[in-house]
Structure 1
Amino acid sequence: MTHRTRLAPSPTGALHLGNARTFLVNWALARHQGWQIVMRIEDLDGPRVKHDAAQQAIDLLRWLGIDWDEGPVYQMTDLEPYRMALRKLAERGLAYPCNCTRREIEAASRSAPHADEHELRYPGTCRPAEPRSIAAASIELEECGWRFRVPDGPHPFVDQFLGEQQINVQQTVGDFQIWTKGGLPSYQLAVVVDDARQGIDRIVRGNDLVTSTPRQQLLANALDADYAPQFWHLPLVRGTDGKRLAKRHGDTRLVHYREQGVGAQRIIGLLAEWCGLGPRRTLTAEEFAAGFEIENLSQQDVLFHPTDERWLFGES
């Protein structure tokens, strides 16, 4: 059996050093293990999708020396598989309509726990007391949001990098959104549908998405999807303040470095040091893959220091 993974940039913003590190590790693991790689552009986040960002991401990954075996495929090309999944969940009483706004959810759940700083726990405002089957013909896909009915209780799974995990989805995020009022599937639903139909069984991504794993496994089970991937959730790159890379940490976009004359091998050399390949030095992607061992990758998030940027520009 040939295993398959995916590189899945979202064209909602430019790739930065943290994204590059995750993609490079994913690519190196795939080339080590003989996995096929699918390039998938996750372009469903409507208003946040930026013009030309998808093509820029493809060009930058190629510039780094990262390649793939299939694609790029774009989610927006065909929405029908996601519609079919929503209809199935609704007919089974596992999805229900909800048009609560973020402000309303925040007001109703001020003291509730949440998965991270960006996600509130849904308090169940629109949740039917009992599961209720909804006929597919009556589903409004363009005018209503939908949520997945999450069972209470711990959900255990094994991460290949982090080890055993156990998350209670109901207590962290509650019944999460699977369809938007704009008529598009959410990230959680789209990922499950796409991974199942594209045969993706090896998933490498940042540890900020570890709480998404049980949600996606619950959805897959509810859809009877052929979906049992192994997961590797990797540490993030953060600023010296401990927060995820953002504009406040300076311009860490790959396109910025390329425009300023920083070579791809210089960037890979810095990423290699962050990945346990020894002192920083210029490297090609192939040299990175030849020396990379997942066992040498620390589970601690990396801090991006001003000295790192100076090295990229050849100043130290």
Structure 2
Amino acid sequence: MTMSRRTLLAGALAAPVLVKLALVPANAQTAAAGGVSQVVAIQRLKVGEATVTAISDGFLAIETALLSNVTPEAANEILAAAFVPAVSPVITGVNAYVVQMADQTVLIDAGGAGMLPSLGQLMPGLEAAGIAPDAVTAVLLTHLHPDHIGAMLVDGQPAFPNADVHVHEIEAAFWTSADNRNAAPEEFKPFFDAASAVVETYGDRVKTFTGSAEVVPGITARELFGHTPGHCGFLVGSGEDSLLVWGDIVHVAPVQIARPDIGVAFDADPETAIATRQAILAEVATERTRVAGMHISFPGVGHVVKGSQDGTYVFQPSPWTYDL
């Protein structure tokens, strides 16, 4: 698969943004969160017969200037209405989810260890949850950005040695293409290198899929393209008790859920990302599907309800589960 001119131009704009994030010093990241660390954050919930554990890998600090189709002043108004401090940068979570079923332990995304000082809490989270890396039987990757594959390798070796790795065919082909890497701006090449390293190191344990495939028993893929060429979500279970782990549908959730027409500089295809976000928000609000997002304030699990105006939505976090 080759990189289209449109995607290349989008990548050229997004790459410096991502590199800028990667170069934010540790003290600035800590200051953005108030300078005091919380405990290792895990939370469990039931999804049908499965137990899902949300794990916080840390956080990102995103400047509101990176949003599109909205002025900073309007973004601040939306944030204030959601009781979020209207101060840029906005803190957004980086979450991962473990699905434990009778005969399998499935990790959905692997955080951003090594990308930023504010990330890298997945492994401590797994330990706190009593989940050994070698007990993970499958890793499902929503896409191959570095804040989703950071813990996949340790010293160049698989961190989850007994796991198959599932990723959309388009996503894997895009990031492992030498032609795409060569066509990308120089500062964007490390993202190709990181993704390729994961795919190459796991070798024949990497399984690609297309469409609405059941990637492992009980978990079905959903194509949610736009953020990256093969960006996907994963539906755990079925019916009213299901959970859609939707990956990076939003990055600044209070703003982009309220106004799904608002884009962000990280999206490879902004128009498609906006259309996908509008469609999936309308769907989960109508069908009352519970969702989980990698960039929603931890644990990132809840429901989307329709707002007071057409095309607007509100995120309703799920209540704490006292007894599983």
Q: TM-score, normalised by structure 2?
A: 0.23
Structure with the larger strand share: 2
Based on CA coordinates, which of the two structures has the bigger radius of gyration? 1
